[in-house]
Amino acid sequence: QHIKAGIFGIESSLRAIHTMMVTLQGPGKELQVDESAFVVGLYQLIHQLQFESDRDEHTLSLVECIETLFLRRVQQQNNRVTAFVLQLANLALHVQPHSALAIISTIRALIHRYKTACDSLFDIEGDMVVGSLSNSSDPLLQDRALLPLWALSQLQFHYHPFLSIFAKKTLAKAPLVPSQRAFQVSNSTCNKTSPERTSKFQI
């Protein structure tokens, strides 16, 4: 409730959600606590981050939450996954390149973990409604058929060469190799734009 009410700061909220998810997947598993409140809280935080001036400072904490919730446990519901993918793609448009790389790396991991659920998001040239996600704060209520990965398609034309390449490979559903995990790409490619390094990144 404190997270949803905005009483905590963003970083504190992300840390609280991460701690609770780790606890519920570990020693707190037997408590059988409904995790929906934490999922909704995290979803709302992603949307809120788009309007925060210090959003880049929270990217890796957000990625850690997403990995814990979706990638280190049994699979989530399909519409919940696709709603998070779309929200993350929108956030990637609003952050610095090193943060966007971490976010897109996370999107790629989600796409390959939940392949069937995410296939419909790649119909970039099909019938689509260009705009934002609905006002619902619950990812289970989002209509994944309305918005393909339009935001990600725009990043193909980003001025940062690593980010442009990464967006193109994500839209091509290229597999994610260990060196392209979120924390690695964020730390190793920030402000590195030489042709030699760009060439090495095309794997």
Interatomic CA distance for residues 62 and 70, integer angstroms? 12
Interatomic CA distance for residues 161 and 191, integer angstroms? 10
The predicted-structure confidence for 39-93, as pLDDT tens digits, reads as follows: 888 999 999 998 888 998 999 899 999 999 888 876 777 888 889 999 999 999 9
| Helices 36-49 and 59-66: angle between axes, nearest 10 degrees | 150
**H or E element that contains 117:** helix 115-118
| Distances in whole angstroms, Cα of residue 139 to Cα of each of 19, 80, 158, 190 | 21, 5, 28, 31
pTM of this prediction?
A: 0.78
Nearest to residue 162, comparing CAs of 84, 96, 91, 66?
96
The predicted-structure confidence for 193-203, as pLDDT tens digits, reads as follows: 444 443 343 43
* pLDDT attached to residue 104: 92
